[in-house]
Chains A and B, each alone.
Chain A
Amino acid sequence: NAGVTQTPKFQVLKTGQSMTLQCAQDMNHNSMYWYRQDPGMGLRLIYYSASEGTTDKGEVPNGYNVSRLNKREFSLRLESAAPSQTSVYFCASIQTPGGLIVATNEKLFFGSGTQLSVL
């Protein structure tokens, strides 16, 4: 019962370095999401993928790119990390009928998060 697995759990980068956060789910969900959470704040959506082969921008996409590698995996890339990207990153997935959340009756499953610090 792995659910949603994120790697790494912790990462420290220097300004300008690049890295990729990995996310995989084993529940055959079609929709996957990347959120960031800053201290004392709610979660903000960075990118999402409603189905394999599609990705769309969320609320705060600048400075990030994503890849939906296959149905299981959805990665988040920081091409040139900045201190403003210091945050906790969460990946999530959900099974949505038809690929769109219309009035979803399904549960969103989250990974345990990646704590990223950019110095």
Chain B
Amino acid sequence: DAKTTQPNSMESNEEEPVHLPCNHSTISGTDYIHWYRQLPSQGPEYVIHGLTSNVNNRMASLAIAEDRKSSTLILHRATLRDAAVYYCIPGGGGADGLTFGKGTHLIIQP
């Protein structure tokens, strides 16, 4: 599995955009970049994923660097409900699922 580096925590204000960075310099050419988040006292939930091109969905946008060694999850207008731990997971290289690191704890201030 590719090694990932994410900030331990980030803080943002409500209704402002949030950019969550992730470095994955050892990613293989066929690995997707997955983002999941875990709200307090819940299991992780899917946010977005991509391979090479930037991706958008109703929850977020994913910006992938041209060399694929880093990516950024963008929450366009953070709400208090977006306070969670966000996991960046490059992978899918085997039958043993996805490897969840410690992620970034996102704090949203009202």
Which of A's residues lie within 8 Å of B, judged by CB?
4, 31, 33, 35, 40-43, 45, 48, 50, 56, 58, 90, 92, 94, 96, 99-105, 107-113
Contacts of B30 in A (CB 8 A): 102-103
| 5 A-B residue pairings within 8 Å (CB atoms) | A33-B97, A45-B99, A96-B95, A101-B91, A113-B41
The docked-state distance in angstroms from the alpha carbon of A40 to that of B93 is 26
* Residue among B41, B95, B100 making CB contact with A43, cutoff 8 Å: B100
Which of B's residues lie within 8 Å of A, judged by CB?
30-32, 34, 36, 41-46, 49, 51, 87, 91-103
Contacts of B46 in A (CB 8 A): 107-109
Residue of A nearest to B51 (CB): A103
Report yes or no: B102 in contact with A101, Cβ–Cβ below 8 A. Answer: no
* Residue among A42, A48, A103 making CB contact with B100, cutoff 8 Å: A42
Report yes or no: A102 in contact with B96, Cβ–Cβ below 8 A. Answer: no
The docked-state distance in angstroms from the alpha carbon of A4 to that of B46 is 14
Residue of A nearest to B47 (CB): A107
Report yes or no: B32 in contact with A31, Cβ–Cβ below 8 A. Answer: no
Asked if A103 meets B43 with Cβ closer than 8 Å, knowing A42-B102, A108-B97, the reply is no
User: Which 4 pairs show the lowest CB-CB distances between chains A and B?
Assistant: A110-B43, A43-B100, A50-B95, A104-B92
